[in-house]
Structure 1
Amino acid sequence: MLRYTLMRLGIFAGCLVVVWGLVYSGLAPRGLGSSNGLWVVLLALLLSAPISFVVLRKERDRASVQIVQRVDRMKANLEANRSQEDAADDTSRAQGQAS
């Protein structure tokens, strides 16, 4: 998951540099008034999102498999704890009735 996030940030940083160069060279519009910095960031986000979607498809699939495995392990642990608690409760109730 960390690898995917870092790769995504790298793509955004690359797009940010390219957009910044285009805006300050005059090839892309500069935005309105003093909103130039925000304009550059928004354009970089707009460009990096579809690039990341296409380029990082395999890495995103790997990350989702890891997340599903982690969730399945957590569910199994919760179920094991629940069954242990049920067994302990049943044992204590049985001992209480025998007394």
Structure 2
Amino acid sequence: MRLGIFVGCLVLVAALVRIGWVPAGLGDANFAWVVLLALVISAPLSFVLLRKQRDEMSEQIAGRVAGAKQKLAANRSQEDLADDAARVNP
């Protein structure tokens, strides 16, 4: 999605440069200027437009991390019980 927003901005900036509404850059730097301007425009747009997807992804990751922590704690408690049993019954 972020790539799509960048490509859309790149096409828009290239069109605006071609029309003459945006400066074309200096000398041979036209392509670099267009790409940099598209990056500067697409970054805040991505931040705002993709907020919902970013929040959903962070919730999924947090859930996975919590599940992994629970499994690790369960494994540790089983190991502790096995160690205690081995000490009691040598």
TM over 0.5: yes
Number of the residue aligned with 2:53: 59
Identity between Structure 1 and Structure 2 (%): 61
Number of the residue aligned with 2:36: 42
* TM-score, normalised relative to structure 2: 0.78
* TM-score, normalised relative to structure 1: 0.73
| Correspondence 1:91 to 2:85 | yes
| Correspondence 1:11 to 2:37 | no
- Aligned length in residues: 90
**Runs (5+) with no aligned partner, structure 1:** 1-6
4+ residue segments displaced more than 4 Å: none
RMSD: 1.9
d(CA) in 1 for partners of 2:17, 2:87: 74
d(CA) in 2 for partners of 1:34, 1:93: 77
SS at match of 1:43: helix
Q: 1:82 to 1:34 in 2, by over 3 A?
A: farther
1:52 is displaced (CA, Å) by 1.7
